[in-house]
Structure 1
Amino acid sequence: MSFNDPEHTMAFTTRRVTEQNYPVLVVSHDAEDGAWQFLCGTTNDPKEGVTEALGSMLERHPEIEELADLPLGWIAWREDETSAWIREPRPG
């Protein structure tokens, strides 16, 4: 694993990503606490939010490993699962 965080580190995601295999289209590496968010971009409903171990996220969605070097305070997004990631500082 190329993330600097241990694979048991908890990340924020949604039930759609973990249970319905929606693609990860938005990734955030939070500046405040270093937390990772792996989101599908289809819901803002707090009831959909779950935590998942980083290692488990990598098993389900190996393409997120491309973003292991995403700096704190940055976000990456893509239009769909075949598109290239676009990286930028998180608006703030």
Structure 2
Amino acid sequence: MDVQITEGRFIEVPTPDASGIDRRAFGEFTGPQGELASYAIGWTTGTDQHVGRLSVGIGAGNPGGATIHAIVVDNGGEYAFSLVDDPFEQVPEGGPHLTAQQARAHEDLAFMWWVADNALARDRRAWWLLHWLLQTTCIQTAEVFDLTEPILVVGHAADDGVWQILGTTNLADDGKVGHLSHVIDEDQTLLDVLDLTPGQAALRQHPGGPWTRQ
């Protein structure tokens, strides 16, 4: 059996000062040998700092059960984890909250990092987090940018890796450069195609319709 990631609930609420959105996504991990873990990821828009949050829990109710907490940061165009003391979330499979020092000494820390890497690689909400964290850019038609046309085509260019967001109008010289995460903010159905590799594209006939990959 391969690793399985099961996406759970997703929460998004305005920040107390209404300057951004606090997003939290939960999920479950099942390993090849039936190993179980739970995780939570989160990020808050509208702040100067681009930092994600992470909790991974194992062994609830058992000796050695634990929950570790970390921040997720941009490390030269790739993500990196850093353990922190402050708890982020309580997750179903998680044991007691560990401080960063306690987590470093835990015998299953490497396994929990493996869970975290799989969650970020396979959970669609984590792809959104990473595009926000790494500030992935995209080019949109002026009509999509102005919200006068729906998104019907998503492309990931083979040559430069730039994401292209189109409606019914072809991309022209008046294309707008923006952040891919902001496009997802407006249309979360794009979560289904954020795993396009360079050279791939996805099309649909109408908003909310099924994507066809090319």
Q: Work out whether residues 140 and 171 of structure 2, in 8 Å CA contact, stay in contact via their aligned partners in 1.
A: no
Q: Work out whether residues 155 and 202 of structure 2, in 8 Å CA contact, stay in contact via their aligned partners in 1.
A: yes
Shift in Å, 1:82:
3.2
For 1:26-45, what aligned pairs fall within 5 Å after superposition? 26-45=153-172
Matching residue of 2:177: 51
Shift in Å, 1:5:
5.4
Shift in Å, 1:45:
3.3
Counterparts of 2:172 and 2:202, CA distance in 1: 21
The size of the alignment, in residue pairs, is: 87
Matching residue of 1:80: 206
Whose Rg is larger? 2
Deviations 1:19-57 (A, max 9, x none): 13421101111111111011113244322x101111111
Deviations 1:49-70 (A, max 9, x none): 1011111111011111110111
Q: Work out whether residues 4 and 68 of structure 1, in 8 Å CA contact, stay in contact via their aligned partners in 2.
A: no
1:55–1:4 distance in 2 versus 1, CA, 3 Å: closer
Matching residue of 1:20: 147
Q: Work out whether residues 3 and 69 of structure 1, in 8 Å CA contact, stay in contact via their aligned partners in 2.
A: no
Paired letter, 2:144:
V
Q: Work out whether residues 34 and 72 of structure 1, in 8 Å CA contact, stay in contact via their aligned partners in 2.
A: yes
Counterparts of 2:183 and 2:140, CA distance in 1: 9
Q: Which consecutive residues of structure 2, in runs of 5 or more, have no partner in the other structure?
A: 1-125
Question: Could you tell me the TM-score, scaled by structure 1's length?
Answer: 0.81
1:58–1:16 distance in 2 versus 1, CA, 3 Å: same
Identity score, percent: 28
Paired letter, 1:55:
S
Structure 1 stretches of 4+ with a deviation exceeding 6 A read: none
Aligned counterpart in structure 2 of residue 2 of structure 1, from 102, 119, 127? 127
Question: Could you tell me the TM-score, scaled by structure 2's length?
Answer: 0.37
Give me the CA root mean square deviation: 1.9
Q: Which consecutive residues of structure 1, in runs of 5 or more, have no partner in the other structure?
A: none
| More relative contact order, 1 or 2 (CA 8 Å, 6+ apart) | 1
